[in-house]
Chains A and B, each alone.
Chain A
Amino acid sequence: MSEKIIEVSELQKSYKENHVLKGVSFTIRKGSIFALLGSNGAGKTTVVKILSTLLKSDGGSAAINGFDVTTNGGNVRKCISLTGQFVAVDEVLTGRENLNLIGQLKHLPNIKNTVNKWLAFSGLEDVANRKVSTYSGGMRRRLDIAMSLMGNPDVLFLDEPTTGLDPQNRIAMWDLVKELVKKGTTVFLTTQYLEEAEYLADNIAILHDGKIIAEGTPKYLKEIMPERGVRLNFDSEIKADIAIKLLTENGISADSIEQNLPSLEDVFLTLIDEKKESNQHEKI
């Protein structure tokens, strides 16, 4: 159907006595979102570093667009971009200078317009000429992403992109990833948040103890787990009461009944939205 853009086979890496990767294999389809799940220290970042040519593997092979990452790193670097766990921006330069620097290094044509486009994209036009050291965490992250996206790489590596972001920025990041994939970019994502992988990924691989212990679509992964019962949701307490009555009358008892409280995240986002709306009303 669609061609493979990343092929990894039996990848191995040890730091001294510590075998981090003990034969990791997976393939990624062009234009899909792939999520590598794993707890802290599982080796997710090591995989990303090997694929982005920052680190040499001890064994196995990995290829991007058909180019081997060890023997043909130069060609691999031309088609990838990395947004690491730590924001990779130059704090002494302004946002505009940062984008300009990357634009020049990528030899992009018409740099001035391109830079303006990416400033607008990351919502940093107002602070474009301020030093990055004055930026907030979210602004730095957005600049960081924009720097990675300049020149439209075929493959974008996002290593725990939402760690340390507030819920709003996290959702903005999710939207962005979805948007990118529509344009044909392949996204390789690592995360320790399960809901992030579930929401975004076409394919998920779970890395544990140096090996991929499960791989597939979110739906498939859920199906291979044993049944966990059925959950019913009602939009009002009255309806729920009636349902429970009906169930007990028919001799069926529920194992547990709990009220659906809004999560703190819902509260936070709702409050912020209301605030935004009322602010806009005041302006009018």
Chain B
Amino acid sequence: MKKSDTNIFFDAWVMFKRCLIISLRNPEALLMAAITPFCLMLLFGTVFGGITDIGDFDYIDFIVPGIILQSIGQASQHSAMNVTTDMTKGIIDRFRCMSISKSAVLIGHTGAGVMRGVISTAIIILTALILGFRPQAGFVDWLLVIALLLLINITVTLIAVLCGMISKSVEGSSGLLFPLFILPLISSGFAPVDTMPSGIRWFAAIQPMTPIIDSLRALTLDLPFGNSLWLALAWCVVLSIVSFTVSVRTYNRKIS
């Protein structure tokens, strides 16, 4: 009758299924997750896309990575809100005094968040292709793009889970994610960094969004990417590890 050893994979899988059901039961959130990236892409691709082309690129080819990052940020709000909802309700005490692995709840939320993020990303790319995005990537480049996008999704979701973890209210949790919506705008996402005023240029050059966006752009448009890919990977890995560690610690310490 009594369970055997704690099985982190099984527990996390059960939690993941629970989080997926919760996402599916929230039609507004689903709709927002699907429509927001579509609208963003449409807006930038058509309305602003007509204003200018940048260098040798069509504007639409240039901005796809920036929009992808922005909509991953948008989609991650739900992870933050779901985590805070869990943490502020009685159900978390039930989980915490059951014999399940400590990180299962967090991994479940992260998994569901990554699923939502991947769907938004796919919607962006499809919309972009319809609007005239013409990537030059070869097969290996595409594999790298997909792997990098997955890693970005995991990183952003882990950051969102952390925000949900430390926030005291559901509204506050999505507020904490505000930087994720703003940072792509102050990066190489929508305009080349060297066109910016010096202070902003300095910030844009050192913040993580720039190497991530540069790498995606270099891979999709077959450009040289210098060290941006390594920088992007390093940022993602470091941010992921830090977010996850702090989340798990907060989860273990949190007293409701």
Hey, which bits of chain A sit against chain B, CB under 8 A? 49, 52-55, 74, 77-78, 80-82, 84, 86-93, 97, 101-102, 104-109, 131, 147-148, 151-152
B residues near A152, Cβ cutoff 8 Å: 1
Stretch of B56-64, B97-105, B156-164 at the chain-chain interface: B97-105
Which of chain B's residues has its CB closest to A51's CB? Answer: B97
Which of chain A's residues has its CB closest to B13's CB? Answer: A104
Picked from B11, B14, B21, B255, the residue with its CB within 8 Å of the CB of A93 is B21
Which of chain A's residues has its CB closest to B97's CB? Answer: A52
Nearest first, the 6 A-B pairs at minimum CB distance are A88-B90, A107-B3, A88-B94, A86-B90, A77-B99, A52-B97
CA distance A91 to B255 in the complex (A): 21
A residues near B7, Cβ cutoff 8 Å: 107
- Complex contact B93–A82 (CB within 8 A): yes
- Mask for B104-133, Cβ within 8 A of A = 1, else 0? 000000000000000000000000000000
- Complex contact B1–A101 (CB within 8 A): no
Which of chain A's residues has its CB closest to B24's CB? Answer: A92
- Complex contact A84–B3 (CB within 8 A): no
CA distance A78 to B5 in the complex (A): 10
- Complex contact A54–B3 (CB within 8 A): no
CA distance A82 to B14 in the complex (A): 20
CA distance A93 to B26 in the complex (A): 11
- Complex contact A77–B1 (CB within 8 A): no
11 contacts between A and B (CB under 8 A): A53-B97, A54-B97, A77-B99, A80-B97, A81-B97, A84-B90, A84-B93, A88-B94, A93-B22, A104-B14, A106-B98
Q: How far is the CB of B111 from chain A (nearest CB, A)?
A: 15
A residues near B90, Cβ cutoff 8 Å: 84, 86-89
- Complex contact A105–B6 (CB within 8 A): no
- Mask for B134-155, Cβ within 8 A of A = 1, else 0? 0000000000000000000000
> Is B195 an interface residue, CB under 8 A from the partner?
no
- Complex contact B14–A105 (CB within 8 A): yes
Picked from B3, B18, B97, the residue with its CB within 8 Å of the CB of A90 is B18
Known: A54-B255, A77-B97, A77-B98. A92 touches B22 (CB 8 A): yes
CA distance A52 to B98 in the complex (A): 9
The A interface, classified by DSSP as helix, strand, loop or mixed, is loop
The B interface, classified by DSSP as helix, strand, loop or mixed, is loop
- Complex contact B25–A131 (CB within 8 A): yes
CA distance A78 to B2 in the complex (A): 8
Q: How far is the CB of A210 from chain B (nearest CB, A)?
A: 19
Q: How far is the CB of A46 from chain B (nearest CB, A)?
A: 10
Known: A54-B97, A88-B90. A78 touches B25 (CB 8 A): no
- Complex contact B25–A97 (CB within 8 A): no
Q: How far is the CB of B1 from chain A (nearest CB, A)?
A: 6
7 additional A-B pairs beyond A78-B99, A88-B94, A152-B1, beta carbons within 8 Å, are A55-B255, A74-B99, A87-B90, A88-B93, A92-B26, A102-B94, A151-B3
B residues near A49, Cβ cutoff 8 Å: 255
Which of chain B's residues has its CB closest to A82's CB? Answer: B97
Picked from A80, A90, A108, the residue with its CB within 8 Å of the CB of B91 is A90
> Is B227 an interface residue, CB under 8 A from the partner?
no
> Is B249 an interface residue, CB under 8 A from the partner?
no
Picked from A54, A101, A102, A108, the residue with its CB within 8 Å of the CB of B93 is A54
CA distance A29 to B176 in the complex (A): 49
B residues near A151, Cβ cutoff 8 Å: 1-3
Which of chain B's residues has its CB closest to A106's CB? Answer: B3
Q: How far is the CB of A90 from chain B (nearest CB, A)?
A: 5
- Complex contact A92–B25 (CB within 8 A): yes
- Complex contact A101–B3 (CB within 8 A): no
Q: How far is the CB of A22 from chain B (nearest CB, A)?
A: 20
